[in-house]
Chain A
Amino acid sequence: MPVCRSRQYLAFALASLATCQGTAYGAATAASLSGPAAPFRTPYLPSNDAETLQDVPSALDPAVSEMRALRAQLDAAPRSFPAAISLADTYVAYGRQVGDAHYAGYAEAVIASWMAAAQPPTRVLVTQATILQYRHQFGAARALLQQALRKDRGYAQAWLTLATLDMVQGDYPSAGKECAQVTAAAGVELGLVCSANLRSYTGQARQSLVLLHQAEAAGENAPVNYQAWVQDLMSEDAERLGDWPLAEAHYLQALRLLPHDNFLMVAYADFLLDRARQKEVMTLLAGHEQSDTAFLRLALAQSALHSEQVGRYTWIMAARFQALALRGSDFFGREQARFALELQHDPQAALDLARRNWQVQREPWDTRLLLEAALAAQQPQAANDALAFLQRNKLEDVIIEPLARELRTKLTAADGAAP
């Protein structure tokens, strides 16, 4: 029988996009991909059975075995709500810890049937909101949290998540009210940390540190996640105040509590990059290339060291962003702006990305990137809103303040030069 061999060729890169912080900002990176070819082999057959192809979660990791045990419990009783919500929360926590957004998707699937109910349980609403917040779908996350709070005004976790969301988006008056609700619902310890977090953004970093010291003393027997959170907030306060040794001590303490936590490692890596300690970044993040946020810091370290690996890292980072853009989710604006600014050396693209990111995300790093990009692109007026935001909220930050001063000087000079 004659066989027609057609020219059609189907290829699926069935994207695991492990890192998966999708984004709508693909245009800037797409251009870069038309440049050098992929630094990879074509499909191949490894020659040796012992060759390691891929790092995967190890069964020896207690967090992984716990997840598998919870999965088995759910598989045995697929309609058990306690089994489902425990597994979903464990997936979310693990995904955050390793910087792998797949787990947010796994969690979403586990609770999907409860979310589809006419009246989803409040715990499910909060878990789903946490997943959406992780993906930077802030509006949808807020709506779910408000729905949960309409059903249960005393749900502390929902208030805390909402307060965090408002802090991420720079709505400090709302966050203040929500921290008060956290105190009312969960007691003074958790309310204290919420309020300390808020003060860090509103020109009260010293008071924030005092509150956090109290929380540290009171929380000696608290879960390690809570203790590490307190340590992380203390390092951020110390960084804003320019006390580098104190900041580093708290980062290291946080990492002793939660070794290999992606969020903490990346925050500490940023601290090290700012101090020009790139080699320590490579040591810190070795073996964590799977995380996109960690990978970007490795690429930045390679670039600062003028390593010959920069091209490879930049290509891979761009390819990851492009693949994420195909997913259509909206994450990672901060990382993309920084990538465009520091690795692609494209101030205009960086400014466009930083401005779009700043519309949804206004943590100090987001503001800093917008100011840096406005300066690099020589468009100080692009930072007007951010400068007004800084003035209104009195953010103190020894790295951001000089950038803001420089931009204000340029804006004043431009005003003076105008007819």
Chain B
Amino acid sequence: MDDGHRGGTFVVHGQWDIALRDLDFVLTLDDDGDGRLTWGEVRRHQADIERYAYAYLGFTANSGTRCAIRPARQMIDDHADGAYVALFFDVVCTQAPVRLRLDYNLFFAIDPSHRGIFVMNNGASVATAVLSPQNAAIDLAL
């Protein structure tokens, strides 16, 4: 962890990749309905995507205070099973937490078999976890 957080806000950077196919199912991004989702169509729906996705993600500091999510930018990330939108964001807490709790509920209500794959890269170490309806929160030791 960097110095400088004493007395200031605490920021963690995040990247959240969501499959365009899944987003199209809930938001119908393919405006012309031709079965080909273009960058133009995705770009026009960026605000919808942000509004929809961030409603299902939350961070809470050890004290129980919610940390704010500050969306930064959206890009496209190719995965083995298709193209994903990559949401870059900052988690902003008013104080440096010892633990940060992540709550994740995207798509669970419409698809209980949906899974979130969480990867935390803390300098040298990488930790992964799977988020599911039965396991929708992770405590991150910072």
Contacts and interface: CB of A to CB of B under 8 A. Distances in A.
Interface of A: 1-20, 40-46, 48-61, 101-102, 104-106, 108-109, 112, 135, 290, 292, 315-317, 319-320, 323, 326-329
B113 A326 contact: no
A105 B111 contact: yes
Interface residues on B, range: 35 or more
B117 A102 contact: no
A15 B19 contact: yes
Nearest to B93: A4
B119 A13 contact: yes
B118 A18 contact: no
Contact of B82 (A18, A44, A315, A328): A18
A386 B84 CA distance: 42
B35 A55 contact: yes
B119 A10 contact: yes
Nearest to A47: B39
Given A18-B81, A44-B75, A109-B111, A11 B17 contact: yes
A8 B76 contact: no
B50 interface: no
A104 B35 contact: no
A108 B112 contact: yes
B122 A7 contact: yes
A328 B130 contact: yes
Nearest to B15: A11
23 contacts: A2-B8, A3-B9, A4-B1, A10-B15, A11-B120, A12-B104, A12-B117, A15-B117, A43-B15, A46-B76, A49-B43, A51-B39, A52-B36, A53-B37, A55-B37, A56-B29, A56-B35, A59-B30, A102-B25, A135-B113, A292-B81, A326-B128, A328-B115
B34 A43 contact: no
Nearest to A107: B111
A169 B80 CA distance: 31
Given A1-B9, A56-B20, A56-B24, A13 B79 contact: yes
Contacts of A42: 77
Nearest to B31: A59
Contacts of B7: 2
Nearest to A109: B110
A327 B19 CA distance: 15
A49 B38 CA distance: 6
B113 A329 contact: yes
